[in-house]
Amino acid sequence: MFRFWQQNLLRISIDKVVMHPLFEKADECARQIKGHTCAVIISHIDADGLSSAGIMCKALERDGMEYETRFLKKLDLAALEDIANLNKMTIFTDLGSTMIDQINALGMDAIVADHHQPKKIPHKHHLNPHLFGIDGANELSGSGAAYLIARKMGPNRDLADLAIVGAVGDMQDRREGRLISMNRQILEEGIDVGVLSFEIDIRLFGRQTRPIYKLLEYCVDPYIPGITGDEEGCIKFLRNLGVRLKDEDWRRWIDLHKEEKQLIVSEMMQLCLTSGIPAHKVQHLVGEVYTLLKEEKGTELRDASEYSTLLNATARYDHADVGLAVCMGDRGLVYAHARSLLAQHRQNLMEGLKLVKEQGVIALQNLQYFHAGDSIRETIVGIVAGMSASMGEINRDLPIIAFADSEEGIKVSARGTQDLIQQGLNLAVALNESAKEVGGVGGGHDIAAGATIPRGCEEEFLSILDAKIGAQLKRR
């Protein structure tokens, strides 16, 4: 039933979207960049932001331009004024769309390549899919926007692999189980130039690198009783199927035969269904996966999902420079450093999930939330919130809101589901408006958004946010 082990060689048609105005805008941005000799690149501290910066840095480097980079948790007025004082052409990647009015007011010579829901304020060099009728949450990522500009600057289509890493890191393939629309076109360009391939396979993290039992143990989408977080249970499960765990070394998913893969997936699906896991969660187990053909087999960089997680493990722990160096091609000591950060990142995520499971969540009428305090790092609390949505204790009929302590106050991260989006949920709007009412700032996507609010305002913020989400769902 699930022929996930076969390479899919059929080209899936690109979604019918209006593309020409978007390409024209990318061309305008590229010409503006090429009219300068140096630039400063400002990007976000996640996998999409690092991939975006990597694409732009490589394009500038190939064009012989000098550049410097800065990575930010958020772009606020203070940061913007500091950047404006550099008096250089500024390229915002995966940032900037919510600050267009301030960028204009400061008279900045700026290119904005972003995909977050924008303020619809005119700016000559603003490339954002939402402005062209394309969904920035599912159809084009920040790295995709940067790629569209880079491909107009020169022969840079080999950078499509980084654009796909950013899109997968932003979970743009999650709703359909595959990349669609503009992301699809970028994927196909990467296939054409020989840097990417895709196939239907198990969608668990670690296909390239983890021992099979560890691959299963860290499965959180769906959260499977007796498998997720249970090393002994995973080993027993595989042994009962007659799957060898080890040859000379621990066997990884990429080491298995087709028949073994088919058997494991079929039995996992059966286990999910008999455990009462809804079918829509079970379907997440199988879908498209993306391979970077230039990277060494069996490494984190070979698989787009693992690559993106490695990038998150650098930027979200104040080492964005390490992640950028990996994007730029460093495979020596810097890459080794990135891998050590990744190991710690994985451990932190599992501890965060354990905290949520033990602490539980509090449900209001239209949302559910947990407050991690200083127990979960503010830069990963959103990832933990997203992963926790697959736990049995979490109600998928309500968006989940996570709080964590931050130097600026309280960090808020929110995650929804596609079902809720179809009912009218827009977390970017809800968090932006609610944060403003308590003296904070917020934004993002309809399905995933964030905010920073003053410490001590959590209850007031929750009350406002609960009402706004309720109004969105009721209007629908």
Question: What are the tens digits of pLDDT across the range 325-334?
Answer: 999 999 999 9
pLDDT value for 392: 64
pLDDT value for 320: 97
Question: What are the tens digits of pLDDT across the range 283-309?
Answer: 889 999 999 999 999 999 999 999 999
Residue 259 burial (CB count, 10 A): 9
pLDDT score of 413 more than 60: yes
Packing angle, helices 231-240 and 258-274, rounded to 10: 120
Amino acid present at 358:
E
- Both tokens of residue 257? 């035969």
Query: Domain 360-475, CATH 3.40.640.10 — does that match?
Result: no
- Are 383 and 417 in contact, with CB atoms under 8 Å apart? no
Q: Are strands 110-113 and 126-127 parallel, antiparallel or unpaired?
A: parallel
Do the domains 20-174 and 360-475 sit in the same CATH topology, yes or no? no
pLDDT score of 6 more than 50: no
> Hey, what's the torsion of the CAs at 176, 178, 184, 189, to 10 degrees?
180
Q: Which sequence spans correspond to the domains of the chain? A: 20-174, 202-349, 360-475
pLDDT score of 391 more than 90: no
Instruction: Please give the sequence-ordered ranges of beta strands (E in DSSP) within 4-130, or none if there are none.
Output: 38-44, 66-72, 90-93, 110-113, 126-127
Contacts of 257 (CB under 8 A, 6+ apart): none
CATH class (in words) of the domain with range 20-174: alpha beta
Mean pLDDT taken over the chain: 92
Contacts of 213 (CB under 8 A, 6+ apart): 231, 234, 235, 238, 245
At residue 120 the predicted structure's pLDDT band, cuts being 50, 70 and 90, is confident
Q: Quick one: which H or E segment has residue 344? A: helix 333-359
Handedness of CA 18, 308, 44, 52 (dihedral sign): negative
Q: How buried is residue 324: exposed, middle or buried, by Cβ count under 10 Å (0-12/13-18/19+)?
A: buried
At residue 323 the predicted structure's pLDDT band, cuts being 50, 70 and 90, is very high
The share of the chain scoring above pLDDT 90, in percent, equals 81
CA distance 342 to 127: 32
For residues 393-415, give the mean pLDDT: 93
At residue 165 the predicted structure's pLDDT band, cuts being 50, 70 and 90, is very high
